[in-house]
Amino acid sequence: MYKREIPLLITFLSGMVAVLEYYFPTDATKNAFTVLKNWGIVIAAFALGFGAVNLFIVYGRRFRKAPNPVDRVFSIWLLVLLVITALVGVSLSSASDQYQWIYNSIYLPLGATMYASLCFYMTAGAYKVLRAKTLDSTLLLITAFLVILGNTPLSAAIWKGFFSWRMWIFDVIVSGAYRGIRIGVGIGSIVLGIRTLLGMETGYLGRR
């Protein structure tokens, strides 16, 4: 019972408080919902701690069992840096110069590089893939071409029409398609919300 009924009851009561606060905003419902939201923040922050524990379990296991020595080195390296960063953050605060140095000198350049490296893959990908082989791929090619032209200030500076074409593609073709998707997702979300509230949707409990 404690594994199924109690979580379902908590979900139902929490959901009902949120619904009541929205449709009947009295002081009582507002206060109850405020308390719930603040609990939510605490639980979400706690989940971050669980994330760190999970990292230790997964990479600790990989360090011990991975057949490839490179995997072991990277696993232990991750855990060592995790401990160092956490220790500096907890003992000196994340606003300290030391923590800022770790972030600005190590993590920030690595994170930015990861994103930036996409540029190389996309260039090579466009070169190899964007070929007018079929009608579908020709349409994709033309659209990609116009969007790239419109996206670069250089081409728009040469002729503003490139920018207008891009905007037309975004406003008409892209928005039209995504609006349909959004409406579908919206209706699906309402149904999912009602099913979750009524205990008919239990996927979030981690089992069927």
Partner 1 sequence: MGLEKVGALPRWLVMTIVVVLMAIPLIKPLGILPVISESTMDYYNAIDQLKPGDVVLFDIGFGSGGYPTLGPASIAILRHCFSKDLKVVIMATQQEGAVIYPLIMDKVKPEEVYGAKYGEDYVFLGYIAGVQTAMAAVLGDLHSAAPVDYTGKSIDTLPMMANIKNADDIDVVAYLTTAGEIAEGWVYQAYSRYKKTTCGGWLSMMTPSLKPYYDTGALTGMLDGIRGAAEYEKLIGEPGDAMKTTDILNLTQLWVLILVILGNIAFFAARGKEVS
Binding site for partner 1 (CB under 8 A): 22, 30, 33-34, 37-38, 40-45, 47-48, 94-95, 99-100, 103-104, 107-112, 114-116, 119-120, 122-124, 126-128, 130-133, 141, 144-145, 148-149, 151-157, 160, 163, 167, 170-171, 174-175, 178-179, 181-182
Select 12 or 163, whichever has its Cβ closest to partner 1. 163
Select 48 or 135, whichever has its Cβ closest to partner 1. 48
Minimum CB distance to partner 1, residue 29 (Å):
11
Do 93 and 85 touch, CB atoms closer than 8 A? no
Minimum CB distance to partner 1, residue 94 (Å):
6
Select 73 or 124, whichever has its Cβ closest to partner 1. 124
Minimum CB distance to partner 1, residue 200 (Å):
22
**Integer CA distances (angstroms), 155 to 66, 120, 169, 174, 203, in order:** 51, 21, 16, 21, 49
List Cβ neighbours of 85 (8 Å cut-off, separation of 6 or more).
Answer: 99, 102
Select 4 or 105, whichever has its Cβ closest to partner 1. 105
In total, the chain counts a number of residues equal to: 208
List Cβ neighbours of 110 (8 Å cut-off, separation of 6 or more).
Answer: none
Select 64 or 182, whichever has its Cβ closest to partner 1. 182
Select 21 or 59, whichever has its Cβ closest to partner 1. 21
Minimum CB distance to partner 1, residue 121 (Å):
10
Minimum CB distance to partner 1, residue 6 (Å):
21
Q: HEC string of 148-199? A: HHHHCHHHHHHCHHHHHHHHHHHHHHHHHHHHHHHHHHHHHHHHHHHHHHCC
Total Cβ atoms within 10 A of residue 162: 21
Minimum CB distance to partner 1, residue 66 (Å):
27
Do 27 and 39 touch, CB atoms closer than 8 A? no
